Amino acid sequence: MTNTDWHAPPDLLARFAHNPAALDDMTAASVEAHLVVCADCRGQMTAAASPALVTASWDAIADRIDQPRPALLERVLHRIGVGRGLGRLLAATPALQGAGLLAICVLAAGAVVLSLTADAEGPFLVLAPLVPLAAVAASFAPAADPAGEAGVATPMHGAGLVIRRAIAVVGINFGVLGAAALALPDLGPAAAAWVLPALALALGTLALGAWMRVEVAVAVLSSAWLLGVSSVWWLAGRDIPLADSATFSVTGQVTALAAAVAAATIAAARRDHFATLEAFR
User: For 92-117, what is the HEC assignment?
Assistant: CCHHHCHHHHHHHHHHHHHHHHHHHH
Q: In the bound complex, what is the minimum distance in angstroms from residue 149's beta carbon to another protein? A: 4
62 versus 109: smaller Cβ distance to another protein: 62
Residue 212 is a binding residue for another protein (CB under 8 A): no
**Backbone angles phi and psi of 194, in degrees to 5:** -85, -20
73 versus 259: smaller Cβ distance to another protein: 73
Residue 268 is a binding residue for another protein (CB under 8 A): no
Measured CA to CA in angstroms, residue 114 lies from 40, 94, 174, 177, 242 at distances of 74, 27, 19, 14, 13
Q: In the bound complex, what is the minimum distance in angstroms from residue 99's beta carbon to another protein? A: 11
Which of 101, 113, 152, 190 lies at the binding interface for another protein (CB under 8 A)?
152
Residue 150 is a binding residue for another protein (CB under 8 A): yes
- Nearest one of 203, 199, 200, 215 to 280, comparing CA atoms: 215
Q: CA angle 87-93-98, nearest 5°?
A: 100
Residue 162 is a binding residue for another protein (CB under 8 A): no
Interface segment toward another protein; rule CB under 8 A; list 8-16, 47-55, 83-91, 216-224: 83-91
Q: What share of the chain is helix, strand, coil (3-state, %, to 5)?
A: 75, 0, 25
Neighbours of 39 (CB within 10 A): 12
C-alpha 52/C-alpha 22 separation (Å) is 19
Residue 188 is a binding residue for another protein (CB under 8 A): no
Residue 275 is a binding residue for another protein (CB under 8 A): yes
Residue 43 is a binding residue for another protein (CB under 8 A): no
C-alpha 260/C-alpha 154 separation (Å) is 30
60 versus 240: smaller Cβ distance to another protein: 60
Q: CA angle 258-259-261, nearest 5°?
A: 65
Interface segment toward another protein; rule CB under 8 A; list 87-95, 101-109, 124-132, 237-245: 87-95
Contact between residue 208 and residue 268 where contact means Cβ atoms under 8 Å apart:
no
92 versus 108: smaller Cβ distance to another protein: 92
Residue 149 is a binding residue for another protein (CB under 8 A): yes
Number of residues that bind another protein (CB under 8 A): 30
34 versus 88: smaller Cβ distance to another protein: 88
Which of 11, 24, 68, 80 lies at the binding interface for another protein (CB under 8 A)?
68
Measured CA to CA in angstroms, residue 184 lies from 118, 131, 143, 178, 189 at distances of 11, 17, 35, 10, 12
Which of 20, 151, 185, 241 lies at the binding interface for another protein (CB under 8 A)?
151
240 versus 277: smaller Cβ distance to another protein: 277
Which residues form the interface with another protein (CB under 8 A)? 59, 62-63, 66-68, 83-85, 88-89, 92, 143, 146-157, 272, 275-278
